[in-house]
Every structure is written in C-alpha cells, then in structure tokens.
Chains A and B, each alone.
Chain A
C-alpha cells in the first residue's frame, strides 16, 4: 500500500495562476481532507469530504475548490493563486469521519506564490 500520495512535492506559481494539487489514497477510506500548514498556525482545515460526491468547507476554504468524484482521489484547486496561499499543503484520509479514526497524511506539497 502506498497510503496517501500527494503530487507535486514542490511548486512555484505566479500570482493569478491556477493549479490543482493532487491527492490519492489506496486504503478505501471514506473520509479525506486538505490542510494547510503555516508557521505558528498549526494545521488548518481547508475542505473535507465524507465520501464520493460529498464535500464541505473547513476553517479556511476561501480561494480553494475541491471535488470528490471517486473514493480514491480528492484534488484541491487554487482558482487564482495569491501570495497568502504560500504554504505547505497536506492531504489526509481516514476510514470514516467519526472520532477515534487515525488520520493518514501524505508528505505534503510545498507551494510558493510569487
């Protein structure tokens, strides 16, 4: 099992560009989520999905879009990149949304917006 795979690992964008961060898991997990990690801010929830076809907003959803067409994939789209979106992005998955479920994280995408 590969677990949670994120691509790309690094990306530099110019302000206003759009891009998609990819996330795939091979554990048949229903729950998937996206976090951004910034110094002193911890991990903040952007969007999450409890299953294929269902998504919802987290703490900091503005400027990001998600979709969940399959159980395995949960891409994160930056619609028009801004310098404030420079961050490290982590995708995570767990079997279900309910508590007591360990989150399995990918190794992150380091994104710089110039």
Chain B
C-alpha cells in the first residue's frame, strides 16, 4: 500500500506563478516530512523539511504547509522560475524514509 500519496503527477506553471504540490500520509508515527528535488540524470536532493509540531516552514520561495489533523502537507513554490523545473518528491519518516510518487513540474517562460 502507498503510505504517502502525492498529487498531481505533473504540473505546468507559467513563470512567476505559484506551484502547489500536495501529499497525504496514513501513518501517524511519521515525525519528519522532507521534500526532495530531482533534476534529470541526478539523484534527489533535500529541498526543505518540516516536523509535525509546526504548521508552516518557509525558506526563500519555498514553503511547506502542514495540517496534522488532516494528515496532509503541501509544497508551495512562489514566483516559480524555469530553473525550478524538476521532479519533486514528498516523503515521510518514522524510522524509514517513505517517498510519494513524485510530481514533474514544468515552469514555462
């Protein structure tokens, strides 16, 4: 079973727009929720992460929103740029790191 569900599978956004990627989890034992960014031909790299005791974390143009009661969290990319075009993975950890299915983001100039 998929413990972390991610949507959408793909996303096209105009330059300067807001990109939003959503994730939902089932296991309440998860206690760490990172997002990874992957460029073609490369391995994923940590982008931003949050713990469930906070509802929001912001780093530059990237923000994680976390809703513990709904068991959902999302990534917002403000002022999206063509250089943000990549695959984004949400993940959840409770001893082992479990990834979502990934979202392929394309930012059009």
Contacts and interface: CB of A to CB of B under 8 A. Distances in A.
Contacts of B61: none
Contacts of A42: 4, 6, 89, 99-102
B43 A100 contact: no
A106 B43 contact: yes
A51 B34 CA distance: 23
A103 interface: yes
Interface in B3-60: 4, 6, 9, 31-32, 34, 36, 41-46, 49, 51
A45 interface: yes
Interface in A53-85: 58-59
A40 B7 CA distance: 11
Interface of A: 4, 33, 35, 40-45, 48, 58-59, 90, 92, 97, 99-100, 102-103, 105-108
- Nearest 3 Cβ contacts at the A-B interface: A105-B43, A99-B32, A102-B46
